[in-house]
Amino acid sequence: MTTAIDYEYWTTDAHTGETIPQSSSPARIADMVALADIEPGMRVLEIGTGTGYTAAVLAEKVGASGYVVSVDVDQELVTRAADLHKKSGNTHVEIHHADGTTGRENGAPYDRIIGWTTPHVLPEPWVRQSAHRAVIVTPVKIADIANAHAVIRCRIEHGKPAEASAQPGSFIEMTPEPVTDFGQPLRYVDSIVTTEAGERAWISISGHSVPPEQADAITRQLAAAEPQPEWIDPACWREFTAYMLGTLSDGTPISASTGTGQGFGFTTSDSAVLVLRDGSVAACGTAAALATLRGIRDAWERAGQPGYDAATVAFTAADDGWRPSLRY
């Protein structure tokens, strides 16, 4: 998709001349907006105004007969974006300072909701504020561990998400306050240690009930392990790790950083594995987790290396929304 909206105009900080760190890449934005199938006249709720660029793209798509409501937790960004929209004559865009997990009641129902920041579940207010057969496109967690994100597209029917699909994609986590450190996951981390090489290593263990000293020990052991190379093709890392998280029946999902590499894996009672982005595997403890991982990789290969497009997105009702998971 090409757009006439000037990316530099929206994303350059007038004071520093630098690109505002919250800016997403224009190609990623174009993909997400295309997924949302926005038509003239629609009412769109945007979560995560950032620079205001995406609201400008959405405003162009809905045209003068449509409307865009956009919210962000960062008051400074909201003020800046609202000012730029005013200067651009976008009278059909309104921008509010708010925590987007509650959506924006005043303006509902929406034909489309598009998120640029990752909630831990598909928030119930978004579903409630959707018109019948509305489409939501948003990153969301696919497991309760740091960085386990996918972009989902779902249609809302009879007050529930339906007809959902997933694709790879990761955006910063939703937080109740603005953040400036985008380098580390902020939530879901069970242990952070400094390795002997002086690197920061961390682990996030599904369920978050492992005692801290045990979480520290696994983090240290994974960081110290010599990674076993060429477990999978790094080009397939996202697809394989999504499949692993979606099919794992014997182990507890983890995401972790060894200080030099990040990945997803799982723990058993006496072992752990981590599939790193370069396709190698760090392992510790007995050989149990490695054996399970080998079985998952064999099944994935036999199934033709299914990617996100082969996954079914299932939603489970949670207290504050709908928890998606990928099933194969």
Among 73, 143, 205, 215, binds ligand SAM (CB under 6 A): 73
Among 5, 24, 124, 126, binds ligand SAM (CB under 6 A): 24
Among 90, 117, 167, 219, binds ligand SAM (CB under 6 A): 117
On the 0-12 / 13-18 / 19+ scale of CB atoms within 10 A, 98 is middle
CB of 25 to ligand SAM, least distance (A): 10
Among 36, 45, 71, 273, binds ligand SAM (CB under 6 A): 71
User: What is the length of the chain?
Assistant: 328
ω into 109 cis (within 30 of 0): yes
40 dihedral zone (left: phi>0; alpha: psi -120 to 50; beta): beta
- If binding is defined by CB under 6 A, does position 124 make contact with ligand SAM? no
Task: Give dist(CA 282, CA 33) in Å, integer.
Answer: 37
Measured from the CB atom, the residue of 54 and 271 that comes closer to ligand SAM is: 54
Among 99, 144, 199, 278, binds ligand SAM (CB under 6 A): 99
- If binding is defined by CB under 6 A, does position 227 make contact with ligand SAM? no
| 191: Cβ contacts below 8 Å, ≥ 6 apart | 202, 203, 212, 215, 216, 218, 219
Nearest to 191 by CA among 179, 181, 183, 200: 200
**Looking at beta carbons, which residue is closest to ligand SAM?**
50
- Provide the 8-state DSSP code for 228: B
- If binding is defined by CB under 6 A, does position 123 make contact with ligand SAM? no
CB of 185 to ligand SAM, least distance (A): 14
- Provide the 8-state DSSP code for 236: G
Q: For the chain, what is the radius of gyration of the CA atoms? A: 21
Measured from the CB atom, the residue of 171 and 264 that comes closer to ligand SAM is: 171
* 3-class DSSP state of 43: strand
Instruction: Count the site residues for ligand SAM by CB under 6 A.
Output: 25
Among 33, 53, 90, 232, binds ligand SAM (CB under 6 A): 53
Task: Give dist(CA 128, CA 144) in Å, integer.
Answer: 23
- If binding is defined by CB under 6 A, does position 72 make contact with ligand SAM? yes
DSSP codes joined into one string, 166-214:
EE----PBP-SS-----SS--SS--EEEE-TTS-EEEEEETTS-S-HHH
- The amino acid present at 205, given as its one-letter code, is I
Among 5, 84, 134, 172, binds ligand SAM (CB under 6 A): 172
CB of 178 to ligand SAM, least distance (A): 5
Task: Give dist(CA 147, CA 176) in Å, integer.
Answer: 18
241-280 footprint of ligand SAM as x/- string (CB under 6 A): ----------------------------------------
Residue 109 token pair:
């129902």
- If binding is defined by CB under 6 A, does position 204 make contact with ligand SAM? no
Among 38, 44, 50, 219, binds ligand SAM (CB under 6 A): 50
In the residue annotation, 24 being an active-site residue is answered as yes
Measured from the CB atom, the residue of 97 and 294 that comes closer to ligand SAM is: 97
175-194 footprint of ligand SAM as x/- string (CB under 6 A): xx-x----------------
- If binding is defined by CB under 6 A, does position 67 make contact with ligand SAM? no
- If binding is defined by CB under 6 A, does position 118 make contact with ligand SAM? no
Task: Give dist(CA 29, CA 53) in Å, integer.
Answer: 9
Residues at the contact surface with ligand SAM, assessed by CB under 6 A: 22-24, 47-48, 50-51, 53-54, 71-74, 77, 99-101, 116-117, 171-172, 174-176, 178
| Catalytic residue annotation | 24
